[in-house]
């Protein structure tokens, strides 16, 4: 299954590289929320005495490849998608069946497929590339939910005491840090053997205490297997070299934020500092490293270190975090997750309404800068033939995820988001 996307080079509409303006409209139901939320956040939610829903909108853009795609034609109900989801559910059951409920496994697969369908519309459903990304999203979702302590969703832990479990997780962060340092102590990544890493992991104390963490590490090997099929030139060393830096950055950021939030010191920092860590945790850099493996993209160093390129990429990374905090707010309310910037601002004293509006203002200001920086990036390096493809995949996440928030059962936003094309016609979601 493909959507006919031929990328920027094949898109003759809108001058090939130009973005089209759009407006994203969404609503948040505030009449139901988890009691796990802090008192200050619960008070902010219940302050809407006579309002059950907040209606919001923000200006965004449609990338070239999505301007010729009928989003309504992309469905998880097709026979091909259903077949793949069944295979992935079996895979989750094989690896995680002793830790998680079948219903949760189905939801995780739905979540992963929702992402890949929308972010990479050019990937055939049963391709190795589609499968690699599906596994990446499955594993990251399971680990993310475990960190959020969502026993009610998954049922994979017997720990009933949340505080006790949090103390264990803090300990695990320290242990994983030591393991990562040991595993990647050699600069020559080609000297790293995946089997040696697995043997080392089995003997770690936290694996014996929480064996599902070993299952995560073991299942992650599937990513390399399918990536190797998609790109036969991919070696163990290149695979690990591409992932290790961004993995460590994301992991260390998650650990720092987790510890600070549990210690009660996170709110002592300013919004910019909080957003810095929130952006590192958003996942776009890791995703793009996987894409680089699958697509054999090697951007020259003079491009990667150029200040305009790095600023453009920084804004793209911020978009992922902000969109997750705005369009993922319903999920955060329902599951009592307060790790987003909106609730951070609420704890700082803003009303929920003002905190949302403030994030929208930040987003729209960044959109203006993004458009200008993007134009520079795409015209400054005409000899870098891989750059347009790289930008295409970055923007695949930025725009495609708007629909993922609607598609995935994880977010509970099925009828609460729509995208309106400012130039042509309205596209409902």
Give residue limits of the domains in the chain: 7-427
pLDDT of residue 77: 80
pLDDT of residue 428: 37
pLDDT of residue 201: 57
Low-confidence ranges of the chain (pLDDT < 50): 1, 3-15, 152-160, 189, 424-429
pLDDT of residue 429: 36
Note the CATH number of domain 7-427.
Answer: 1.10.600.10
pLDDT of residue 218: 74
pLDDT of residue 12: 38
What is the rounded distance in angstroms from the CA atom of residue 152 to the CA atom of residue 171? Answer: 23
pLDDT of residue 93: 92
Which residues, including other chains, have CB under 8 Å from residue 352's CB and lie 6 or more apart?
A: 30, 41, 44, 45, 47, 48, 54, 342, 346
């Amino acid at each position: 299954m493909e959507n006919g996307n031929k990328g920027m080079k094949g898109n003759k509409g809108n001058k090939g590289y130009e973005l089209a303006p759009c407006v994203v409209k969404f609503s948040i139901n505030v009449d139901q929320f988890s009691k796990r939320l802090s008192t200050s956040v619960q008070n902010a939610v219940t302050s809407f005495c006579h309002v059950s829903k907040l209606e919001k909108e923000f200006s965004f853009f449609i990338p070239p490849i999505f301007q010729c795609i009928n989003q309504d034609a992309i469905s998880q109900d097709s026979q091909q998608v259903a077949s793949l989801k069944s295979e992935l559910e079996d895979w989750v059951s094989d690896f995680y069946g002793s830790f998680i409920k079948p219903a949760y496994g189905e939801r995780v697969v739905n979540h992963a497929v929702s992402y890949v369908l929308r972010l990479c519309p050019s990937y055939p459903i049963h391709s190795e590339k589609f499968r690699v990304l599906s596994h990446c999203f499955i594993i990251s979702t399971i680990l993310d939910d475990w960190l959020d302590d969502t026993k009610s969703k998954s049922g994979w832990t017997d720990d009933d005491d949340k505080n006790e479990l949090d103390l264990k997780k803090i300990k695990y962060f320290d242990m994983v840090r030591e393991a990562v340092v040991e595993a990647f102590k050699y600069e020559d990544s080609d000297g790293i053997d995946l089997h040696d890493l697995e043997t080392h992991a089995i003997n770690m104390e936290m694996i014996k205490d929480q064996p599902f963490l070993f299952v995560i590490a073991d299942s992650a090997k599937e990513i390399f297997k399918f990536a190797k099929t998609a790109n036969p030139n991919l070696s163990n060393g290149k695979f690990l070299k591409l992932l290790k830096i961004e993995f460590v950055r994301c992991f260390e950021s998650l650990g720092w934020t987790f510890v600070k939030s549990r210690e009660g010191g996170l709110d002592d920092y300013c919004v910019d500092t909080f957003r810095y860590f929130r952006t590192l945790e958003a996942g776009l850099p890791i995703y793009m490293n996987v894409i680089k493996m699958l697509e054999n993209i090697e951007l020259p160093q003079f491009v990667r270190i150029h200040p305009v390129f790095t600023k453009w990429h920084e804004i793209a990374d911020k978009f992922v975090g902000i969109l997750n905090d705005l369009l993922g707010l319903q999920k955060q309310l329902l599951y009592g997750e307060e790790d987003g910037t909106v609730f951070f601002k609420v704890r700082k004293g803003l009303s929920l309404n003002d905190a949302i509006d403030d994030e929208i203002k930040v987003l729209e200001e960044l959109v203006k800068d993004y458009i200008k920086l993007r134009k520079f990036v795409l015209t400054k390096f005409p000899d870098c033939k891989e750059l347009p493809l790289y930008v295409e995949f970055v923007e695949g996440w930025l725009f495609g995820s708007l629909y993922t928030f609607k598609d995935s059962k994880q977010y509970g936003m099925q009828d609460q988001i729509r995208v309106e094309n400012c130039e042509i016609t309205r596209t409902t979601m």
